[in-house]
Amino acid sequence: MNAPILVINCGSSSIKYALIDSDPNAPRLAGIAERLGSTEAHLKGSNSCGESFQQSLSGADHAQALHAIFARLEERSPAAIGHRVVHGGEHFTQAALIDASVIDAIETTAALAPLHNPANLAGIAATRALFPYLPQVAVFDTAFHQTLPPQAYRYALPEALYTQHGIRRYGFHGTSHAFVSQRAGEISERGNGGWLVAHLGNGCSTSAVWHNQSLDTSMGLTPLEGVAMGTRSGDVDPGLHAHLHRQLGWSLDDIDRVLNKESGLYGLSGLTNDMREIEAAADEGHAGARLAFDVFCYRVAKSLAALSCALPTFDGVLLTGGIGENSFQVRKRVIHLLPHFGLALDDDKNTATRSGREGRIDAGNGPEVWVIPTDEEGRIAAETRQCLETHA
């Protein structure tokens, strides 16, 4: 199958797209329709020559935006559409060809991801209505982590909360953790060994991957658990919720908003959720930015150290995401905080590796440290192809 795959990532007011050839390194048509449903709705992206464009879609809804996206595909008909779906619950251990029963199962898990799954479903409904002749595949953020053993995925809570309500740890960013660990297997002499993976972007998560299987990960029931992120708190004392409610009278919505949107780098620094700005302000002596940087790096290192318990063997650390791929300062601090693992960086290689470059940055005497730019769209396209081949 040589025709490209159209990858769609549908949010409540945005649609990201990318047209991906069977050669994942071929130039890509890609872009985003944003602020859908408002007068400021627009589509921006780049064409196959790498030229960027912007088009007003004033008042457009998801279906109208998808029409505009198709008009930008330069008459290259996709073989299928691969949809990113955030939560697959326990139903999905791999990508699924979309039919009525798959849609039912995604609807069932919507209670676990009320902000994301309904938007993903709206995107699927719109593309199915517009392009009924195209096969559509759902690729789940949670699927890669379905290999976690019970000791890693169960919370220490009454069993009925798991058996009757699905309360367990699921993990997210699965396509990124899968892509990066598989890539390490291709480029490291150690192959598919035991890797600690840190996906550090606006959202951040860590995982322990052994022989291409996720054995533990930092995110849980929702993408709020784990390390500190751009605006998300990561782990807090579960007693915090009751305390804030009783002492400050905060509602659940207040608490949810603060932990998801007003915490992390942003909350600690009082400035910004953007690591570049945190680093610049910290260099100028801003106390909040320094604290945000320190907490962020310490929590990533602590999470990696904790996840090492899941690995039967340890071959090294893989860093990805906007921060992992670009910030040599974060990489330096995180690795420095893991002295018992025998890790050491080559400072020159660390400083030089950024802007989408892949490279090994350790000093060469111990476990390896790699920077591997993630490619979630490429992985979604690959899983979509694989799913179609299985059903051919």
Which amino acid does the sequence have at 269? S
Q: How many CB atoms lie within 10 A of CB 287?
A: 11
Q: What is the DSSP letter of 203?
A: S
CB 243, min distance to ligand AMP, A: 29
**Which of 202, 212, 260, 351 touches ligand AMP (CB under 6 A)?**
202
327 counts as binding ligand AMP under rule CB under 6 A: yes
**Which of 175, 206, 326, 384 touches ligand AMP (CB under 6 A)?**
326
Which amino acid does the sequence have at 300? V
CB 233 within 8 A of CB 264: yes
Start-end of H helices in the chain:
62-71, 100-109, 117-130, 150-153, 159-163, 174-187, 239-248, 252-261, 264-269, 275-283, 287-307, 321-326, 328-336, 347-352, 376-391
117 marked as binding residue: no
Q: Of 94, 109, 102, 200, whose CA–CA distance to 147 is shortest?
A: 94
Catalytic residue among 141, 216, 315, 375: 141
357 counts as binding ligand AMP under rule CB under 6 A: no
Binding mask 27-46 for ligand AMP (x = CB under 6 A): --------------------
CB 279, min distance to ligand AMP, A: 6
CB 361 within 8 A of CB 350: yes
322 counts as binding ligand AMP under rule CB under 6 A: yes
Annotated catalytic residue 99: no
CB 97, min distance to ligand AMP, A: 29
78 counts as binding ligand AMP under rule CB under 6 A: no
Q: Rounded CA gap, 224 and 119, in Å? A: 19
1 marked as binding residue: no
Cα→Cα distances 350→14, 18, 176, 181, 358, Å: 35, 30, 21, 19, 11
201 counts as binding ligand AMP under rule CB under 6 A: yes
Residues 138-177 that bind ligand AMP (CB under 6 A): none
Binding mask 224-253 for ligand AMP (x = CB under 6 A): ------x-----------------------
- The interface region with ligand AMP, picked from 160-168, 215-223, 269-277, 344-352 by CB under 6 A, is 269-277
> Using CA of residue 93, residue 98, residue 100, residue 103, what is the dihedral sign?
positive
- The interface region with ligand AMP, picked from 9-17, 36-44, 274-282, 376-384 by CB under 6 A, is 274-282
- Report helix, strand and coil shares of the chain as percent, to nearest 5: 40, 20, 40
Q: Which residues, in sequence order, are CB contacts of 164 under 8 Å at separation 6+?
A: none
CB 272, min distance to ligand AMP, A: 8
274 counts as binding ligand AMP under rule CB under 6 A: yes
Which residue of the chain is nearest ligand AMP when measured via CB?
322
- The interface region with ligand AMP, picked from 2-10, 65-73, 268-276, 380-388 by CB under 6 A, is 268-276
Taking the least distance from each CB to ligand AMP, the nearer of 81 and 301 is 301
How many degrees, rounded to 5, is the angle at CA 371 between CA 366 and CA 376? Answer: 135
Question: Which pair of structure tokens corresponds to residue 254?
Answer: 């207040």
295 counts as binding ligand AMP under rule CB under 6 A: no
> Annotated binding site for Mg(2+), which residues?
9, 376
Residues near ligand AMP, by CB under 6 A: 201-202, 230, 274-276, 279, 321-323, 326-327, 354
Active-site residue numbers? 141
Binding residues for substrate, as ranges, are 84
Q: Which residue ranges are tagged as binding site for ATP? A: 16, 199-203, 274-276, 322-326
